[in-house]
Amino acid sequence: MKILVVDDDRRIVKTTCDILKVKGYEAIAAYSGEEGVEQVKKDPPDCVLMDIKMAGISGVEALKQMKQIAPEMPVVLVSAYASNEVTEEARQAGAYAVLNKPLDIQMVLSFLSLLRKEESIMVVDDDPRFCKTLQDILTLRGYRVETETEPDKVMAHLDKDYKLAVVLDLKLGEVNGVDVLKKIRDKYPGKPVVLVTGYKQEMGESIEKARKIGAYTCLYKPFEMDELTGVVEEIRLKKLQNLLAS
């Protein structure tokens, strides 16, 4: 994963690049907004970390030019003293966030980890073929995916490491998915859980209960895979933005 670091303070650029390289990223240095824009033209990175106040064009102006070249590229701006007006202008121009100096490098590393889709998705369904289909498709989209067909083993997966989201079937043999959802909610209240079911009418009451206790949404089988990947991507982007806003 390639990260472009843009700042006219060469010490900050070197320190940031060194840390990123130690963590396994390819870090590219640029020492002005103009140089940053040229780097994006030449070879767009996966993410840009850029100072706002620099000699030459500002970080906000460089951001605007970069977005014309690579509209979907995440750009995070950094400043020791950005006014509210400049911060709002940056957000309007498409900045993911405006962070304060000195940079909280641990938060940035967490952000990059999420950007790299390192957190896995948990698919829970008693049909192994359905699990395999979702796993194959989500893996092709760049996500790590774990599957589980036995509902009593779900919490062990969640306790083992963090999951971005859980895709949970409502009808798990003799087990109602709402009971599994309740256990997840009790221990991990903020965990996004996407329900799926092929029994819209039969499971109507369960769907309503699930919504009341905080299910993220419910998809009805057979659904378009783009619908599921769209929901997962929405969850990931919300977490990215919340992480940088914290």
Q: Residue 246: is its pLDDT beyond 60?
A: no
Scan for tokens 């140089």, then name that residue. 35
Give the pLDDT confidence of 113-129 residue by residue, as tens digits. Answer: 877 776 789 999 999 99
60 contacts 93 by C-beta, under 8 angstroms: yes
DSSP state of 52: S
Residue 107: is its pLDDT beyond 80?
A: yes
DSSP conformation class of 5: E
Lowest mean pLDDT among 61-65, 72-76, 82-86: 82-86
Alpha-carbon gap, residue 90 to 41, rounded angstroms:
20
The 3-class SS string of 159-190 reads: HHCCEEEEEEECEECCEEHHHHHHHHHHHCCC
pLDDT tens, position by position, 193-244: 999 998 888 888 999 999 999 999 999 988 888 999 999 989 988 888 777 7
Domains of the chain, with CATH numbers? Answer: 2-115 (3.40.50.2300), 120-245 (3.40.50.2300)
pLDDT in tens, 43-58: 999 999 999 999 899 9
DSSP string across 56-125: SS-HHHHHHHHHHH-TT--EEEEESS--HHHHHHHHHTT-SEEEESSP-HHHHHHHHHHHTT-SEEEEE-
Cβ partners under 8 Å of residue 41, min gap 6? 69
Neighbours of 220 (CB within 10 A): 14
Strand order in the sheet with 47-51: 26-30, 2-6, 47-51, 75-79, 97-100
CA distance 70 to 7: 20
Question: In this structure, what are the phi and psi dihedrals at residue 113, rounded to the nearest 5 degrees?
Answer: -65, -45
In this prediction the pTM is: 0.68
Q: Please tell me the distance from the alpha carbon of residue 155 to that of residue 90, in angstroms, as a whole number.
A: 41
In a 3-state reduction of DSSP, which class is residue 236? Answer: helix
Share of residues in the chain with pLDDT > 70 (%): 98
> If you average pLDDT over every residue of the chain, what do you get?
90
Q: Is the pLDDT confidence value at 187 over 90?
A: yes
What percent of the chain shows pLDDT beyond 90? 62
